[in-house]
Structure 1
């Protein structure tokens, strides 16, 4: 009697495990279909080996994570609870949850460029909430329809594989499919090791495209976004962010200013802090903040003030002598003391914006609606530094978080000149009157710069990264915040073709 019961138990377990393999095999096909969206979301490889790696990794990695999911869920349930009807129902529900989660992750990756994770929860919730509120009925129907389709697929596969198990066991193609997946798995890892050793960025930049794959490094993140000068790296073993290969696509303003504004703004730039303090002593109305983050490269700071953009776009703009997009109608700028921007100058006697190389004798216009004053950073081994900014506008200096040079012109155009939409469309600087977060992006001396609250992340020409405190300047021992950096790189490249 005991032997019979044990034999019956073993038979059920054996059948369930056999069914489970076929059920998993069917789900591998579903997961492969869903994961195609990850491949579409990113730029296609440019080499033959890049395509080979993409295909073998897509096939083997997605199959592997599907099989692991089976081993961790359905397999132990089949051993401890060998009741076919219940197991098949639970397996369908578990597989539906897994496939639905993968679909959600694919949607987030397609829109934001990174996978589901707790550090990017606010951005993910914002994306989903915006989608839901913009078209609630359609979103609910689509989301519910996708889940129901997946559930219907799971139930159909679950029942079909169980009732046709004997016939399915006669097929030989699963052996070849399994062998192919194992070969692809070994090949994908071998190619990645080779690519990592031989600087094949067309392959390593695919890290982290698929969920639960290789962790993204600073170097692969830059390569993925085409910010590495790979040829120079091969020649000199030195990866450089090369702004000379970048083109600038000037945006076409989509909205005009609400009203004509006669406001005037003075931006006074001093050579050193001592001269700045002499000037401030004669201007008691000016208030200060010590969180003015500017590049130590003076030309990069000045470029950002005039255009509201990082120096990433400096070369293509200055080479073509393109005027700032915000200059139109009654919006004019007069630049005194900076020869590199002479082509922008105009003869307006009372320009909307006046940028002056100032000294102790310089005076701000009495009619100016806003005055900004700061000194250029001292040349050092650093990339950026937090210095002092003075302004006649109390709200500006009381802004939470760091202020960049590009924020000055964005606030001037967006707030004082009444062109909020224009500033938002044409600049990467923040209108400090409409600032909703404390993040920003910059670029100087071939170094990508992003900040979030007090933390500044620098990714240098070798693809190495460093986190520093903006207020104190000390290094912060913390890993890369990939979701934040992906967003920052997308923001930096906003005006590239």
Structure 2
């Protein structure tokens, strides 16, 4: 007896086969749309990071799309006996899903968040702002756009239906599915390793795609002594993201008055040695330059912020210059190192700078000079009229630097970040320095427990006895501050976390992204 397939069974088989091809073409479209996430995120700096990005992009977006097919379209192939109805409903579902993905990608590009309950309030506020300006033309355009998109899906669905027998003969199912499975395994395997090592080029991609929950295996690895869970938690707590998407500078309006009779001279020595025998000028000791190069040291002096923020600050005038200028004080700046053109309004040539200084015309004079020119500037009249700060900017790498002054300093330790708050205070501005600097006024009697800054990709935290280096993966190295030898004393995690929080206070990096 020969058993023939019933028409119903043939229809279901054909619909299921068609559904898989329809899902595949929408996976390709979804992957193309998801490229928006990649194009608007910093590229990984390593080959492993790029391999993870590629495999995670393909596998995660492919999985999301195929999962949508399984729960929304595949049941229709078994429940409905009308092929036309299945194609129409599937086209609506596919058009809506991909439109939602495109909306999420644009939302991530603008606000750095994905569609979620946590971001609902933010999205609602933004939507109300945008929709308040919508007229019937905008709504008509969006409606027409969706109709065109739905029509495209319907055309593709019909084209696949008509060619389903030809597509079945190609036998592409196994190689295609094997490729996506391989990408899935590689991406999650790499993430398990990166999460255990806190490997930043991979870990920092966790929030890039929507509904992303990469695999981790910390508990399992610790059970078999492959991971020290306590050390992992410590390193994770001390992770610091060097990526600055924007800056709040200042973090709050700076309101203060200045005293027109006050005069301050700030000198940064970019080459040579400061002589210890300058009459009336005392060495303050325990001063540190924590920047990786000379230009970063100059920017730190002017802005009072570590080099972590310098790229983001390129569009801002330093409060150190803009505030006194807005109060009508006479400001002169000279530099033997190139300064950005935005400072041209303050910059003088050498003869103008020395003339104003010796005639006691400047309320604030800032010079970045070689040490052999000190004697030309520090005349008895200048020393008697100006409050003077002289910092050695040529030293870096967390080693002791030099700071000289004719004012009383009440700090046991100081850094270049402290110079801007100190100068503004000497001019009479008593505004809270934390609004525009990570440093503090050196004449203030409040005690400080540490100095924190950045050097390249490292966070540096100095106490009175130790220099602590925190790598971007959370690893910590501790050195004796005097001998510069590495020591292996216990890590004060609470102190380091406090320092990192203080360092991050000017970052406007959005915190509404989905957390793991």
TM-score using structure 2 length: 0.48
TM-score (norm 1): 0.50
Return the index of the structure with the highest Cα Rg.
2
